[in-house]
A and B are shown apart, each in its own frame.
Chain A
Amino acid sequence: MTSDTLNPNPLVQALERMVLIRAYEDTLVGLHGQGRAAGTCTSVGQEASAVGVVSALAPEDLILTNHRSAGHLLARGADPGRLMAEVMGKRDGYCKGKSGSLHIASKEIGVVLTSTIVGGELALATGVALSRATLGGEGIVVCFFGDGAACEGRFHESLNLAALWNLPILYVCENNQWQAFVHRKETTLAESVVPQAAALGMDGTSVDGNDVEAVQAAAAEAVAAVRRTRKPFLLETRTYRLRGHFEPDDQSYVDPGELEHWRGRDPIALLRARLERDGRLSAAGADAIAARARAVMEQAVAFAEASPYPGAEDLTSDVYA
């Protein structure tokens, strides 16, 4: 993120991060196609949600995420090279190659206990928040999950306990309309998860998850509320998973009209158009952002491919403390 200083406008910085996330995931999709990296669960189309929420956080805050985590990690400042090394199962990955893409955590940047069991992060977040509440400090906990996890029993259990115990958690439901290979409309009658928070005595709000400006504003308000009240809050970002559940996935089960509609609401294209229209970014400036992201990815791929695989001695290390 050395380019942060190039344009001080926060929305331009947001665009730069979103473009970086897209470039990272597109690069991995390409590498997977060439057999050079494992397939990933991408968050393509959801970049505004990740960047909008994470940019509202303070360094001492902790994030829990899930298998669709690239946006959260990169928005938090993860090194794309170390992320790619992890996806490739290399020693220099954030988890020494033992996670792969699905459960990448990085304590050093405050992304902890990533679980790929849908709803797993919801069950762990209450404990992380209990630690924060018990051991002191200003930090809050942010828990990213999808509309699929909101169909798990743990969603209810987690929100209920957090509300009951006044735990400082910002729950962020990235409602991307898809639960693996099943559309949200096939799994629940609820159009929004927010009323479920209200039923448990928790405040919540829903926001257009493809509008980074709107997400940033809603997240800033929500984060401030959690920090001030030390009580949980549920933020729903309405967005769309533009690619399949994992790579490769031909998305043959996706309604073409719906996909086309959401492609027309691509959060990166929307933001770039808005910034160019308002005169806050030139076409050349936008192209430079894209070029920088490509250059970062070239370096990241080189770093990851040069990193060694773990050794046989690593097979049984870090099982027990």
Chain B
Amino acid sequence: MQTMTVTDAVSSALAEEMRRDPTVLLMGEGVATKRLPLVEAFGGARVRNTPLAEGIIAGTAAGAAATGLRPVIDLLFAPFLTYAMDEIVNSAGKLRYISGGQFAFPMVVLAQTGAGWGVGAQHNHNVEAWFVHSPGLKVVMPSNPADAKGLLKAAIRDDNPVLFFTDIGLAYADGPVPDGDAVIPLGQAAVLREGGDVTLVSYAKTVHGCVQAAARLAEAGIEAEVIDLRTLKPLDEDAILRSVRKTGRLVVVHEASRMCGVGAEIAALVAEKAFGSLRAPVVRLTGPDAPTPASFPLEQAFVPQAEAIESAARGLVQGR
């Protein structure tokens, strides 16, 4: 077991996968500048700086993926993906289906998002639900270094395009990471804490708010089960339903805005498949329908915090 940040965990996963598979390569704006050890280990042909042109980076990745390589591209910040939507959504996401299965797109798109650095709305926008809504794509958003490493290794080995979002607020947070080839399969949620009174479902940074809330709730005799989705598509429906059938109460928490967000999908899923188990209405705690502000207090106010999660859970359990 080592201690490392999410940023280092990503580098570690890249290094291990590039060593394991010579077809894996890394491209993006500054990847060769910022990840020098990878350049030293694998050379400039496999770690390529690119022009500031997200569309052609993503298109090059899709074309390469369909013809024998396994590219990982770093598009830096999630809002920049808007420049690459055609290549990710129309090409990587659709050309397998459109061609009757002639092509596969084993590629990973890295991007950061989320509150924490005060970078404002054109660098911080949690757009993960856009890609969940697009066929042919998978979406991952880890909450800690160990998951970042294990899930990125799985994403690189996956034969489908994977959007891999890392949370800016977690980038330099340390955490334990297992040694060795610890691959975490896509589509498996993690139960971080077991409890029978209320289920807290989240992903990325707000998972930590859920864990903090669960600890405080325990002090008050309320046992919360905390589920970290880790992968948003494919969604681990079983983990959610199993927990809600046990607790009968659900709070879904994410930083992305509410309408048509991942929380809406989970609420609908539970309404469709576990309605009879519900003892209270589902609660969603999300970011507002607003661009993300740069000002620190406003940025913090954007993100659902532990106090709000605790209060929502307490309200459900106490029937308020």
- CB <8 Å contact, B99 and A128: no
- B60:A98 contact, CB within 8 angstroms: no
Q: Is the C-beta of B56 less than 8 angstroms from some C-beta in chain A?
A: yes
Residues of B within 8 A of A96 (CB): 100-101
Give the interface size bracket for B toward A: 35 or more
- Judge whether B293 is part of the interface by a CB distance below 8 angstroms: no
- Known contacts A107-B103, A120-B90; A131 and B67 CB within 8 A of each other: yes
Is the beta-carbon distance between B66 and A319 smaller than 8 angstroms?
A: no
Q: Which of the residues B45, B66, B104, B159 comes within 8 Å of A127, measured between beta carbons?
A: B66
A contact residues around B90 at 8 Å (CB): 115, 117, 120
Q: Which residue from A103, A123, A319 sits with its C-beta under 8 Å from B63?
A: A123
- The 8 A CB mask of A154-194 against B (1 = contact, 0 = none) is 10011011001100000000000000000000000000000
* CB nearest to B89 among chain A residues: A117
Interface digits, B27-48 against A, CB 8 Å rule (1 contact, 0 not)? 0000000000000000001001
Check B86 for interface membership: any CB of A closer than 8 A.
yes
Known: A112-B103, A160-B51. A103 touches B95 (CB 8 A): yes
Assembly CA distance A123 to B64 (angstroms): 11
Q: A161-B50, A161-B51, A319-B97 are in contact. Are A126 and B67 (CB under 8 A)?
A: no
A132–B64 Cα distance when bound, in Å, is 9
Is A130 a contact of B97 with CB atoms below 8 Å? no
| Residue B283 interfacial (CB < 8 Å) | no
Contacts A131-B67, A135-B69; A98 near B91 (Cβ below 8 A): no
Which residue of B50, B60, B69 contacts A123 across the interface (Cβ within 8 Å)?
B60
Residues of A within 8 A of B271 (CB): none
The chain A residue sitting closest to B67, CB to CB, is A131
Asked whether A258 is an interface residue with its Cβ less than 8 Å from the other chain, the reply is: no
B-side contacts of A98, CB under 8 Å:
97-100
Contact assessment for A123 and B56 in the assembled complex, using a CB-CB cutoff below 8 Å: yes
Q: Is there an interface contact between B99 and A123, defined as CB atoms closer than 8 Å?
A: no
Contact of A252 with B by CB under 8 A: no
A94 within 8 A of B: yes
In the complex where A135-B69, A157-B56, A321-B159 touch, is A127 in contact with B100 (Cβ < 8 A)? Answer: no
Q: Which residues of B contact A28 (CB under 8 A)?
A: none
- Across the interface, A131 reaches (CB within 8 A) one of B51, B53, B64, B104, namely B64
CB of A105 within 8 A of CB of B102, answer yes
Among B23, B50, B67, residue most surrounded by chain A Cβ atoms (within 10 Å): B67
User: Are B103 and A124 within 8 A (Cβ)?
Assistant: no
With A95-B100, A123-B86 given, is the CB distance from A321 to B160 under 8 Å? yes
Q: Is B59 engaged at the interface, CB distance under 8 Å to the other chain?
A: yes
Which residues of the other chain, A, contact B60 by a CB distance below 8 angstroms?
123-124, 126-127, 130, 161
**What residues of chain A lie closer than 8 Å to B45, measured between beta carbons?**
134
Interface residue? B258 (CB, 8 A): no
How many positions in chain A have a CB within 8 Å of any CB in the partner chain?
46
| CB atoms of A318 and B100 under 8 A apart | yes
A113 within 8 A of B: yes
Encoded as 1 (CB less than 8 Å from any A CB) or 0, chain B from 121 to 137 comes to 00000000000000110
Q: Is B152 an interface residue (CB 8 A)?
A: no
Known contacts: A99-B98, A103-B98, A107-B102. The answer to whether A126 contacts B159 by CB under 8 A is no
- Whether, in the assembled complex, A253 has its beta carbon less than 8 Å from a beta carbon of chain B, the answer is no
Contact yes or no, B102 A127, CB < 8 A: no
**B160 touching A120, Cβ below 8 Å:** no
- Residue A78 interfacial (CB < 8 Å): no
Residue A164 contacts which of B51, B58, B59, B97 (CB distance < 8 angstroms)? Answer: B51
B314 within 8 A of A: no
Q: Mark A67-103, 1 if CB is under 8 A from B, else 0.
A: 0000000000000000000000000011111110001
On whether the beta carbons of B100 and A99 are closer than 8 Å, the reply is yes
B98, A130: Cβ atoms under 8 Å? Answer: no
A126 engages B59 (CB within 8 Å) = yes
Which A residue sits closest to B25, measured CB to CB?
A134
Contact of A112 among B66, B86, B135, B136 (CB under 8 A): B66
Min C-beta distance of A200 to chain B, whole Å? 11
A226 to chain B, nearest CB (A): 17
Tell me whether B193 is interfacial, beta carbon within 8 Å: no
| Nearest CB in chain A: distance from B17 CB, A | 16
Which residues of chain A from 272 to 321 have a CB within 8 Å of any chain B CB?
A: 317-321
> Is there an interface contact between B102 and A131, defined as CB atoms closer than 8 Å?
no
- The answer to whether B96 touches A130, judged by C-beta atoms less than 8 angstroms apart, is no
> In the assembly, what is the distance between CA of A319 and CA of B135, in Å?
7
* Nearest opposing residue in chain B for A115, CB measure: B91
Known: A105-B99, A154-B55. A130 touches B160 (CB 8 A): no
A153 at the interface (CB under 8 A from B): yes
Q: Does B71 contact A (CB under 8 A)?
A: yes
A64: chain B residues at CB < 8 Å are 63
18 CB < 8 A contacts A-B: A95-B98, A113-B95, A117-B91, A120-B91, A123-B58, A123-B59, A123-B91, A126-B59, A126-B60, A127-B62, A131-B64, A131-B68, A131-B69, A134-B68, A154-B55, A154-B59, A318-B101, A319-B136
Q: Which residues from chain B sit less than 8 Å from chain A, CB to CB?
A: 23, 25, 45, 48, 50-51, 53, 55-56, 58-69, 71, 86-87, 90-91, 95-106, 135-136, 138, 159-160
Instruction: Name the 9 nearest CB pairs between A and B, nearest first.
Output: A127-B63, A123-B59, A96-B100, A318-B101, A321-B159, A157-B56, A127-B64, A124-B63, A95-B100
Instruction: Beyond the given A127-B60, A127-B64, A164-B51, please list 10 additional residue pairs across the A-B interface where CB-CB is below 8 A.
Output: A98-B98, A113-B62, A113-B99, A115-B95, A120-B91, A122-B59, A124-B66, A134-B69, A135-B69, A320-B138
